Structure 1
Amino acid sequence: MTDKDSAIAATVMRERLRLGNFIRGRVRDQAETEDILQDVFYEFIEAYRLPEPIEHVSAWLFRVARNRIVDHFRKKKARPISETSDLGGDDSELRLDLALPSPEAGPEAEYARSTLLKALQQALDELPENQREVFVAHEFEGNSFKEISARTGVTLNTLLARKRYAVLHLRARLQTVYDELEI
């Protein structure tokens, strides 16, 4: 084993858990998470063998992972409606999928993270109360639509519609922040 191979193996062992957790926090499907992680390490191995060294390996890995996650959601978004799940399934069309930069990725990532969280709070405050309540209960508290319906007495279809309007508003509102930060 060469010195480069040893350095690659050490980096993979050192960063695998943190990077896997980072991806897992943004991509719910375990198989997709593993695929993205493998893609990141493959790209790392290819780049590491180039003549120019990678500076700040950890930050580089997280940047590549974030790019692969974005690519994953772009591919998912580009699929025809017939290929996406229906509302009875995992409700992926109703997910905001806010990709926050890792706090460990340096000062720029920390700034982007805090900016996004502030923008999210402002955007949530702009929502009508009934939409905000459904969004918070489902996204942050982890309640199912059936649980929310049983607790509030609001029909499932009404809850789904409220969540959909909330997600559309939040996506539009936060897209400008993402564009400004060039995430």
Structure 2
Amino acid sequence: MTSYLEKLESIYKAYQPAIYAYLLRQTKNTATAEDLCQDVFLKAFEALPHFRGDATIKSWLYRIAHNHYVSYFRKKDVQAVTVMEDTNLYPLLSAVHSPEDFYLHKEKLDELYRILDEMKPVFRDILILRDMQELSYQEIAHVLGWSLGKVKTTIHRARLQYKKEAGKKGVRSDEMLNY
């Protein structure tokens, strides 16, 4: 039988990288994402004894992260950062071998974030949860407190909006959301 501390440690090890990546994509700032991630896990650990199991631990943590990010954003009146400046914010680029490839991929990611930043926050959030964080529709419904139908409809509308905005900028929208 595992102890409570071992359970906390296993949850942290299993989900911290994904929650941090989500918050990093939202804030585009490593220090802020680290602080928010720490807060999310503190809140989760305090609430864990009351976790009823209505959802998975994963979607429960994402819901805490999403709500904490929204709360932080409202309190701080945070200005949106258009482009990530720190190359540490581009984890997918670590597989790129040449400087030319790195630059081309970084430019694509910068364009992706510019397009996302210009979208309605709800569309940006849902695309990050589905296409970047790879949450299921059911998990997204739990994170946002929506019905499954609303999630599907909003994802569809967000993708249409994204394609429209990408088309205006001459970007192939089919390859961009896979980052």
Number of the residue aligned with 2:154: 116
- TM-score scaled to structure 2, two decimals? 0.53
Q: Structure 1 residue 104: deviation in Å? A: 2.7
Is the Cα–Cα contact under 8 Å of residues 37 and 65 in structure 1 kept in the other structure? Answer: yes
The change in CA–CA distance for 1:53 and 1:124 in structure 2 (over 3 A counts) is closer
Q: Do residues 7 (structure 1) and 45 (structure 2) align?
A: no
- In our comparison, the structure showing a higher alpha carbon Rg is 1
Which position in structure 1 is the counterpart of 2:135? 104
When residues 57 and 86 of structure 1 are mapped into structure 2, their CA distance, relative to the original with a 3 A threshold, is closer
Q: How many equivalent residue pairs? A: 129
Show structure 1 runs of 5+ residues with no match: 142-183
Conservation of the 8 A alpha-carbon contact between 1:54 and 1:60: no
Residue equivalent to 1:133: 168
Alignment of 1:33 onto 2:33: yes
CA distance in 2, matches of 1:95, 1:10: 37
Q: Deviations over 1:70-93 (max 9, x none)?
A: 22332344x6xxxx5899xx8x9x
Q: Which amino acid aligns with 1:69?
A: Y
Specify whether residues 69 and 76 from structure 1 end up closer, same or farther in structure 2 by C-alpha distance, changes over 3 A only.
Answer: same
Contact persistence 1:47–1:54 (CA under 8 A): no
Gaps of at least 5 residues in structure 2 are: 86-113, 142-147
Q: What does the per-residue CA deviation read over 1:20-49, in whole Å, with 9 as the maximum and x for residues that have no partner? A: 22222222111111111111100011112x
**Which TM-score applies when normalising by structure 1?**
0.52
Identity fraction in percent: 19
Task: Give SS of 1:104's match.
Answer: coil
SS of structure 2 residue aligned to 1:99 = helix
Q: Is the 8 A contact 1:44 1:61 kept in 2?
A: yes
Q: Contact 2:23 / 2:65 at 8 angstroms: preserved in 1?
A: yes
Contact 2:36/2:68, CA 8 A, preserved across alignment: yes
Return the structure number with greater relative CO, CA threshold 8 A, min gap 6.
2
Partners of 1:126 and 1:17 lie apart in 2 by 32
Cα distance change, pair 113–53 in 1 and its aligned pair in 2 (3 A)? closer
Secondary structure at 2:26 match in 1: coil
C-alpha change, 1:54 and 1:39, in structure 2 (3 Å) is farther
Quote the offset at 1:15 in angstroms. 0.9
Q: CA RMSD in A?
A: 4.1
AA aligned to 1:7 is: K
Aligned CA distance change for structure 1 residues 53 and 118 (closer, same or farther; 3 Å): closer
Contact 1:40–1:61 (CA<8 Å) still a contact in 2? yes
Does 2:80 match 1:73?
no
Q: Compared with structure 1, are the counterparts of its residues 15 and 116 closer, same or farther at alpha carbon in structure 2 (3 Å cutoff)?
A: same
